[in-house]
Amino acid sequence: MLLKLLLIIGVIAFIYYFFIKKKPLVNSGKKNDTKLQSNDMIECSTCGIYCEFSEAILSNGKYYCSTECLEKA
C-alpha cells in the first residue's frame, strides 16, 4: 500500500515538474544589456558624484565628472 502511494506521488511530481510548471523565460532576443547609453548615470572615480555618461570624461578606463577631478587623480 505504501509503495503504491509513493509511486502515485512520484508520477504526480514528474508530471508537474516536466509539463505543468512554467519554465523561466530566456532572454533570447536581446544582446548584452550592459551597454551604456548617453543618458545613463556614471559615478565619478574621484569624488563619487554621478553625472551623465555623455558628459563624463574617460581616462585610463575610469570615468570623471570634470577636468578638476581628472587632474586630482
- pTM for this predicted structure: 0.50
Measured torsion, CA atoms of residues 53, 54, 59, 61, in degrees rounded to the nearest 10: 40
Domains of the chain by start residue, with CATH: 37-73 (3.30.60)
Residues 6+ positions from 47 with CB-CB distance below 8 Å:
65, 69
Over the stretch 5-61, which tens digit does the pLDDT of each residue have? 999 999 999 888 888 776 666 655 555 556 777 678 999 999 999 999 889 999 998
User: Is residue 73 very low, low, confident or very high in pLDDT (cuts 50, 70, 90)?
Assistant: confident
